[in-house]
Structure 1
Amino acid sequence: MKKNIIKISLAALTAFVSLTSCDRNLDQVSSINEPVEQAMSRPESFRQALDGAYTSLKGAGYYNGDTGSQLIMGDLTTDNLIRTASGRNSNFAASNFEFSSDNSQTTGLYSAAYLVISRANFVLANTNNGVLSGTQKANIEAEARALRAIVHFDLVRAYSKIPTQSADAKTSIGIYYAEKYDPLNNSASRNLTVEQVYDKIIADLLFAADNITQNDADKGRLSKAAVYGLLSRVNLYKGDYDNTIKYGELALGLSPSVTQRANFSKIWKDKEGDNINDGVLFQVLNSAAEQNTVGVAYNQAVPALRSEFVVDYDLYTAYTASDVRKPAYFTTSAYSGETYNHVTKYAGNGGPANIVPIKYLRGAEVLLNVAEAYYRSGNPASALTLLNKLRNERYSSFTPGTETGQALLDAILKERRLELAFENDRWYTLKRLGLSVQRSGKGDLFDGTGAPAVEQTLSAGSYKWQWPIPITAIQANPNIKQNDKY
């Protein structure tokens, strides 16, 4: 009988990968081939395999590479970023709304995400083999299901409609929800509605919330606080504001910091020291040893800072001089005789350039989720209290706001844009709110002059809000239906 053989190696494309990083101490396993049943006969193998799934988030198309990185795609497709005339034109097609099924700028996420899911499902496929028991087994299964859930969420919000986007969104076509380890599966189909996919995501996260025991101190692995925070995110997109509040408050109860003002710049720099993870709930670890230069999608030092995309002038000027985020996110400097407002949020400091951990979820986002949900649920007082809590930690001179009505919602959404800029939020916020992209018409230079974006608008009703399924995926499995008009 032919045995399934598994290679224990960081470079392997199988689901089993050992992770070696200066960010945490893990047993190192030499590169060997062995049958799955032998490899998974050791309790430590489950942790190594699950860390391999986490590591896949650093693959090209997810959080690595110049093209299609989720660190920049959610912003360059909106009014947050503008292409520079002096850049290399990486991701230009996507920034110009030229989405196609053979362009990795908008299709790279698809295969990268299903690789993470496959690796998580490999772990789940072996948890009942008798090697693990008790809380150890429960935690591994909970982590794997939570990771599987959030990656499916990233897929469904990109390639399908968002429940609050339009009246027909919940019953529109979803994505394939992979619940078993079957890497050669070529019969999967998009047989679920968007609402059904969200229900599966939430079911996995609820299981994780009930069973996870991972210590919150390790920000590179999912914890109970992170899972509650992710439940708040998913429920906000679903339009379930009661549960957005419920799980967001639980997350903030376990991890209340939204990053203190004094620590804000520290969390964006890859340096050792106190408070570098203040307000972080879950991050994708990265280290100099791995050489994953995740920030190169924005710019490179050659030796002067050369940017592919820079912040839109209207957004840049929305950050006041007293806003701690402004110096943390931007550097104004010249390249090739022109001055730009560069996005240096991921440039690093004191180590190799552009190698920093990726903040997948922060307490500030959870607070903003809950504040918006409180407003939409008819509790503006609680919404304002939370909003003022965040603003107090971002402005060196802040008088508590007193906004009411539409002005309060506008203030919440403004702070969301300022806080989560360049964190893969803007495209999806506009999409879930059913809004158009409307760019400022300003140019790429530091004062708003220079070359503006070619395309200035994308209407709320455009089919392009649902990205195309890669043609390679459809060729491999014709059961996968392409999105309309691609």
Structure 2
Amino acid sequence: MKTIIKYITAIICVSIVSSCGDEFLTLTPKDQLTDLNFFQTESDAQQALTGVYGQLQPNQTYGVSIDAADIEWAMSGDLYEMDGSAARIEIHTLALPASNTKIRDMYQQTYTGVSRANFTISRVSQMEELDADVKEKILAQAKFLRAIYYYRLVNYFGGVPLVLEELDASSEMEIPRATAEEVWAQIETDLTEAIAVLPETWEGDDFGRATKGAAQGFLAKAYLWQEKWADVVRVSEEIINSGHYGLVENFRDIFKEENEANEEIVFATQFRGGNDGEGSNIVYRTAPRGAPSEFTGSGAWSNFVPQGHWVNAFEKDGSGKIKDERYWDVIIGPGEPHQDMPDFVMPTSVPDGWSKTGYITTKYWQKATIGMSGVNAPVLRYAEILLNYAEALNEVGRSAEAMAQVNLIRQRAELDAKSTALGKDAVLDAIFYERRMEFIWESAGAFSDLNRRGRFIDFIRENRPNFAQLNVDSKPWLQTQPILLPIPREAWERNKALEQNPGYTF
């Protein structure tokens, strides 16, 4: 089906029946479909929903490249960007011009997800012959997806144009920004409505779809941003008490392609290996450039590598050896073997082309990959649910219980438990330390979490060795709370009703 979808930044031709991940989202393309004859059957409605899921896959949305690596972990300074492209350097150095192409692409692709969700909600709602239960579940999934696309936008840009209807060629395109409060309110509405309908689990080919727990998890994250601590506690306890989630005993096993249906993954972007458009290039971005192809497969770029100061932040034993199992499960450094391919050993003197810092993360590089990777991108893990819960518990005066959650994470990492008698500030520091060591190269734990609590500048002052070169005091966009990314210039060129965020120019 081909339909012209007009959204905030452009008039874009979007195929709603695009590809989208593992088998439950795989489609057979159909020719000669139009808006008038497409929404006739359940299959048509499911294919439209597949298009909404499909927009999770791009690197610009929830594919753990631009979101998790370029923005989250490069801005916090714990990942180093090897390729040195101008757009990445701008982000890494916190220059953040409105012309930055990575930020532009993320904004546009996320709005494409919103557009697809609106289209699906509009058209499926009008299908009178569709089974009521099927319709409810499709609409609930589309609302969940619209909510997490808007979550991404308000997280990075603050208030943005809030569009909830299908747009066409006659729609008004000069749409001003809503307030951040209005966007958060809509996210809460969509997620609450989704929670009332979504199942707790999906079986068989439906594995990977949005669940009640995933919607609750994002609702808790939305509450965190708004400092609605009691609501975070309530929703987190509902997730925990559901009994559907837990911490996987071995940290590395969380990410393995053959173990994707594990109890820790609350929601993930689905990929399937091969060359059919359903895969990810995450292995290419991870494996060391120039290493033997028998270990890397058909490509290795080592775009993002862990910084030495992040590695040095791991807790060590009396001999100076890292004792945190998270390091040994997903990182290799000089002279260390790959966890799943022990015949691959990092040289004691690591070539600059492999890694400028001497380290590689192997969360997503598990084997040599011919073609694209089928490793899923984690979006929300149970470990984050627990740390979000801990943060809220600490704010409502239940700090001892908060540290109990933190100690669950530490126990899995084979670290000693910390005292449950710590003061409120020390508990918050402990929570953020675990975020930092737990979520490297995931969408949690770095810039956004630090930013929402006003901790980002203090963090990089303390932890980025190049802090003095960042010239933070001369960059007015870094003086706001929260820090916002610039509204892209190309978005403004198409919608002059947009106002720029403080400190930036178009």
Shift of 1:139: 0.9
2:268 paired residue number: 283
| CA deviation profile, 1:171-215 (whole Å, cap 9, x unmatched) | xxx111220111555525234211111111101100001122363
Is structure 2 residue 359 aligned with structure 1 residue 359? no
| CA deviation profile, 1:191-242 (whole Å, cap 9, x unmatched) | 4211111111101100001122363455521100111111111101110011
Task: Decide whether aligned partners of structure 1 residues 54 and 368 sit closer, same or farther in structure 2, where only a CA change above 3 A counts.
Answer: same
Shift of 1:456: 7.0
Task: Decide whether aligned partners of structure 1 residues 429 and 76 sit closer, same or farther in structure 2, where only a CA change above 3 A counts.
Answer: same
1:409 paired residue number: 428
Is structure 2 residue 416 aligned with structure 1 residue 398? yes
Shift of 1:77: 0.8
Is the CA contact (8 Å cut-off) linking 1:82 and 1:452 kept in structure 2?
A: no
Letter aligned with residue 237 of structure 1:
W
Alignment of 1:265-276 (within 5 A): 265-270=252-257, 272-273=258-259
Shift of 1:394: 2.0
Task: Decide whether aligned partners of structure 1 residues 371 and 183 sit closer, same or farther in structure 2, where only a CA change above 3 A counts.
Answer: farther
1:170 paired residue number: none
Structure 2 unmatched runs, 5+: 5-11, 293-299, 316-321, 334-345
Letter aligned with residue 120 of structure 2:
V
Task: Decide whether aligned partners of structure 1 residues 30 and 194 sit closer, same or farther in structure 2, where only a CA change above 3 A counts.
Answer: closer
Of residues 230, 233, 239, the one that matches 1:242 is 230
What is the alpha-carbon distance in structure 2 between the residues aligned to residue 99 and residue 358 of structure 1? 26
SS across alignment from 2:268: strand
What is the alpha-carbon distance in structure 1 between the residues aligned to residue 501 and residue 175 of structure 2? 13
Is structure 2 residue 351 aligned with structure 1 residue 335? yes
Is the CA contact (8 Å cut-off) linking 2:393 and 2:399 kept in structure 1?
A: yes
1:169 paired residue number: none
Is structure 2 residue 57 aligned with structure 1 residue 58? yes
What is the alpha-carbon distance in structure 1 between the residues aligned to residue 50 and residue 440 of structure 2? 28
Shift of 1:269: 2.6
Shift of 1:379: 1.0
1:14 paired residue number: 14
Is the CA contact (8 Å cut-off) linking 2:177 and 2:498 kept in structure 1?
A: no
Shift of 1:131: 3.2
Structure with the higher fraction of residues in helix conformation: 2
Is structure 2 residue 418 aligned with structure 1 residue 420? no
Task: Decide whether aligned partners of structure 1 residues 157 and 28 sit closer, same or farther in structure 2, where only a CA change above 3 A counts.
Answer: closer
Is structure 2 residue 283 aligned with structure 1 residue 292? no
SS across alignment from 2:332: strand
Letter aligned with residue 267 of structure 1:
I
SS across alignment from 1:158: helix
What is the alpha-carbon distance in structure 1 between the residues aligned to residue 14 and residue 200 of structure 2? 25
Shift of 1:37: 3.2
Shift of 1:467: 1.0
Alignment of 1:305-454 (within 5 A): 307-320=302-315, 321-332=322-333, 333=346, 334-336=350-352, 340-349=358-367, 351-352=369-370, 355=373, 356-395=375-414, 398-399=416-417, 401-405=419-423, 406-425=425-444, 426-435=446-455, 436=457, 437-439=459-461, 454=469
2:242 paired residue number: 254
Of residues 150, 153, 156, the one that matches 1:152 is 150
Is structure 2 residue 189 aligned with structure 1 residue 203? yes
Shift of 1:134: 2.2
2:319 paired residue number: none
Is structure 2 residue 228 aligned with structure 1 residue 213? no
Is the CA contact (8 Å cut-off) linking 1:441 and 1:456 kept in structure 2?
A: no
Of residues 136, 141, 163, the one that matches 1:138 is 136
Shift of 1:368: 0.5
Task: Decide whether aligned partners of structure 1 residues 372 and 65 sit closer, same or farther in structure 2, where only a CA change above 3 A counts.
Answer: closer
Shift of 1:79: 3.0
1:114 paired residue number: 111
Letter aligned with residue 77 of structure 2:
D
What is the alpha-carbon distance in structure 2 between the residues aligned to residue 399 and residue 60 of structure 1? 37
| Aligned sequence identity (%) | 24
Is the CA contact (8 Å cut-off) linking 1:20 and 1:26 kept in structure 2?
A: yes
What is the alpha-carbon distance in structure 1 between the residues aligned to residue 283 and residue 156 of structure 2? 21
Shift of 1:354: 7.3
1:472 paired residue number: 490
SS across alignment from 2:360: strand
Mean CA deviation greater in 315-324 or 201-210: 315-324
SS across alignment from 2:23: coil
| CA deviation profile, 1:231-269 (whole Å, cap 9, x unmatched) | 11110111001111111111222255342222x212223
SS across alignment from 1:391: helix
Shift of 1:322: 3.1
Structure 1 unmatched runs, 5+: 161-173, 444-450
Letter aligned with residue 329 of structure 2:
A
Is the CA contact (8 Å cut-off) linking 1:43 and 1:131 kept in structure 2?
A: no
SS across alignment from 2:358: strand
What do you get for the CA RMSD once the two structures are aligned? 3.0
Letter aligned with residue 448 of structure 2:
Y
